[in-house]
Amino acid sequence: MTTNSYSPTKSILIEPTHEDLTISRENILHISNLDRIQELERRIEVENTWTSCCLKTDRRAVIYFSSFSLSASVLILCIYQLLTKDDCNSNQLFLGLLTFILGVYFPNPKIQK
């Protein structure tokens, strides 16, 4: 009869090493960072969402599409007026608006050194 026989009911107690404790602290920090990231994402989502009685939209998309549609309508009006008017004095206003809108959408070229 041997004294070192394996018994499934015996529990082996292994004390954690310093490395094991460090890993668990890193895991805790990682979990807390994930919680912070999720909270930050939730705040950003709330900031960028507009809700009304029956609609929930992204604030950035509404601002982009409204400014784009306003600019497109001004461009179309200016081009139409420049093509149809024969008076050079009234064309100055539309030419100025047209170049301003184009200047907003096409930035100045940058010279690389």
15: in domain? no
Is 61 in the same domain as 93?
yes
Two structure tokens written together for 78: 């200016």
Give the domain extent around 39: 21-51
Is 60 in the same domain as 85?
yes
Q: Give CA–CA dist 21/27, Å, rounded.
A: 10
Whole-number pLDDT of residue 73: 94
User: Is the full-model pTM beyond 0.75?
Assistant: no
Secondary structure element (H or E) that encloses residue 50, with its range: strand 49-51
4 CB-side CA count, 13 A: 0
What would the pLDDT profile of 37-82 be if each residue is shown by its tens digit? 877 778 877 777 888 888 888 888 889 999 999 999 999 999 999 9
Is 40 in the same domain as 61?
no
